[in-house]
Chain A
Amino acid sequence: MGERVNKSIIIALVLAAILALLPFGLPRFYVYLIALIVTFGLVSTSLNFVLGFGGIYQFHHAVFYGVGAYGAAVTIMKLGWSPWIGFVVGPLTAAFLSLVMGIICIRLSKLYFGMLQISLGSLVWVTVYRWYGLTGGDDGIHGVTVPELIESPTGSYYFTMIVAALSLFIMYRILHAPFGSILQGIRDNAIRSQALGVNVRRHQLIALVIAGFFAGVAGVLFVVIDNSVFPDMMFWTLSLEVTIMALLGGWFTFMGPMLGAAIIVLLRTFVSTVTDYWALVLSVVLVLVILFLPEGVLGKVFEIWHQRHPEKSAQGE
């Protein structure tokens, strides 16, 4: 087990070194694309925090991503406050919204939770879409000021990488602490957990707030990369895409959603240069995942690995 931990630390360090050196060799567009992948990967990982590990069907997760971005943009552009304050306000707003929506939805189970969550999320979207005075309506807000330090493409790239890595690390720690173990217990069997003395609803609500917060962090990262926000960021189709990322990558693995985000974002970028029918391609991907990879790409990889090394298969991560 110790060997495995050492190995994964080495892999992480090598990966970090490669990512740190990329801006020096790659054209600007690809640096932007990688930052985008990591941002979407963070949204998807935060969704998977409650979906794959919590068993909560949060169908409209992009709302918290959008609200995090808008929270930052509005604070900076409409209130004229420092961008750094905006970067904190965004995720906190998302976490607060997540708490409010969670309190309303949590009494419902599974699919009903998801349906009500979509409805409430769409309500937030409509509000943002219509409230020209505050949110700029369907135009959104453009040219959002960011601190000089991270204004350049390279600066925003490094900022994105560091914040995303930190967020992933915190979520990973939480999932491997008692809170996370019990969250997975609730996913597997809520009745059993309740009978053990776990306050199931409170536990799920806290998980939802954490997930909403980190989706909001991803929203801030998008503002840093793109300097703009627009209502599509919280439209339900984006939530669908984020969900597919998690399912495709492997929703019972921690890094699965990041892998799924890489596949989907790359696919979208290159498919869009060939055809307008991106949604069609996406739906085919979804069908293939459901039929052939019910546990996702990374889930499949682990499965094969465990079959080949049955003696080492202590725990899947």
Chain B
Amino acid sequence: MHYIACHECDLVHRLEEIPSGGAARCARCGASLYRPKRDSFNRTLALAVAGVILYLIANTHPFLGFKIGSQIRETTLATGIYQLYLQGMVPIATLVLFTVVLVPAIHLVSMLYILVPLNRQRVPRHLARVYRLVLFLKPWGMVEIFMLGILVSVVKLVKMATIIPGVALFAFLGLIFTLAAMAVTLDDHLLWEQIDTHQ
């Protein structure tokens, strides 16, 4: 049993044992307080490993091919960012690089760093610092929005040329589901409690 304050309205609650599948909500404003997860670290680690593989494919292979007459153009994420950079759109190139390439990479690597030791009942060094970085960067990871962007671009170009879907497209799709599933399986209260129990 411990106490917790709602992060949206500051009302203090006493948290007792929550049945599996249940969730705790703020009695005043309805914000989600805590939802315990089963087998959290193990499942999240499995997803993170899958995520790393999908990420590597998504970033090294072309995601769309574009065929007009005899010309074929294949695009990886990096070439798109590089084209923007060449056109002098440095802020936008940086923003895309950050939200679609860097943040997901930092997220996945950090989760591996945290979860591999935790899964063996050990607490990694700087756990708090690394996980705080993950939480800080979370809203800036935008792989799923990028995917919707691909869809819109395809509709826009389909009349102009033949569009050939690439391997990275499917890897991106898989990565979105993996990242979303990681957010569901990770029990961050349990993660923070590791610091208390191992001190």
Q: Is this pair of chains taken from one and the same complex? A: no
